[in-house]
Amino acid sequence: MPIQTLNIDALLDQLESSIRQQIDSRQLDNPILIGIHSGGAWIAKHMHQRLGIQEPLGLLDITFYRDDFSQIGMHPKVKPSQLPCHVEGRNIILIDDVFYTGRTIRAALNEIFDYGRPNQVVLAVLIERNGRQIPLQPDCYGAHIELPDGQRIKLSGPEPLGIDIQNTAKSA
């Protein structure tokens, strides 16, 4: 039961605008878009269309790079990552739905760098929220939200795309 439903279109507009700014100011020639499975991939697909990028969209599944593998365990249905062959020397726009602790992004960066050495990686997220545990932060976002304990952001999709604030299941 959502506490609040956010305006997905407004967020996507803001994110698009923010990314365009980064492309200009950092001179991101010929950028590759990479979305992190699964929520980031949905957002990345929208951005890919809006920004009119020619190069095919890249998809990253970071399951094998998670740092909590031994607690969470093996997920049988891991979609294989699909990255364009060469990240060597390229400008990458890495896209995810929610930036929270930062661990997902750390895993994603580890995986990308296993493929090669990019020129730059710019991080774009739909929502940045409080609760960072790793010294990383997004370069662009659709919105920054502060949440109290016991609440979380949930993206639903892929069609229709929706975003809510929900109560987390709390243990007594």
Partner 1 sequence: MTKHLQLSEQGRLKHFLTIEGLSTELLTEILDTAESFVDMSEHRVRKVPLLRGKTIINLFFENSTRTRTTFELAATRLSADVLNMNIATSATSKGESLLDTIRNLEAMHVDMFVVRHALSGAAHFIAQHTAPHISVINAGDGQHAHPTQAMLDMFTIRQHKKSFAGLKVAIVGDILHSRVARSQILALNTLGVAEIRVIAPKTLIPAEVSTMGVIPIHTMAEGLDDVDVIIMLRLQKERMNSAFLPSEGEYFKCFGLTEANLKFAKPDAIVMHPGPINRGVEIASSVADGPQSVILQQVSNGIAVRMAILSMAMHSQGEPA
Residues at the interface with partner 1 (CB under 8 A): 63-65, 69-71, 73-74, 76-81, 85, 110-111, 114-115
Q: Min. distance of Cβ 85 from partner 1 in angstroms?
A: 7
Residue written as token pair 């920054």: 144
**H-helix or E-strand containing 41?**
helix 39-51
Would you call the peptide bond into 138 cis, given omega within 30 degrees of 0 as the criterion?
Answer: no
Q: Min. distance of Cβ 105 from partner 1 in angstroms?
A: 16
Q: Min. distance of Cβ 32 from partner 1 in angstroms?
A: 15
Judged by beta carbon, residue 113 or residue 137, the one nearer partner 1 is 113
Pairing of strands 32-36, 2-5: unpaired
Q: Min. distance of Cβ 41 from partner 1 in angstroms?
A: 16
Burial class (CB in 10 A: 0-12, 13-18, 19+), 127: buried
Judged by beta carbon, residue 3 or residue 72, the one nearer partner 1 is 72
Is the separation of the CB atoms in 82 and 55 below 8 Å?
Answer: no
Judged by beta carbon, residue 61 or residue 139, the one nearer partner 1 is 61
As given in the structure block, the two tokens for residue 85 are 């062959």
Judged by beta carbon, residue 24 or residue 68, the one nearer partner 1 is 68
Integer Cα distance of 68 and 106 in angstroms: 12
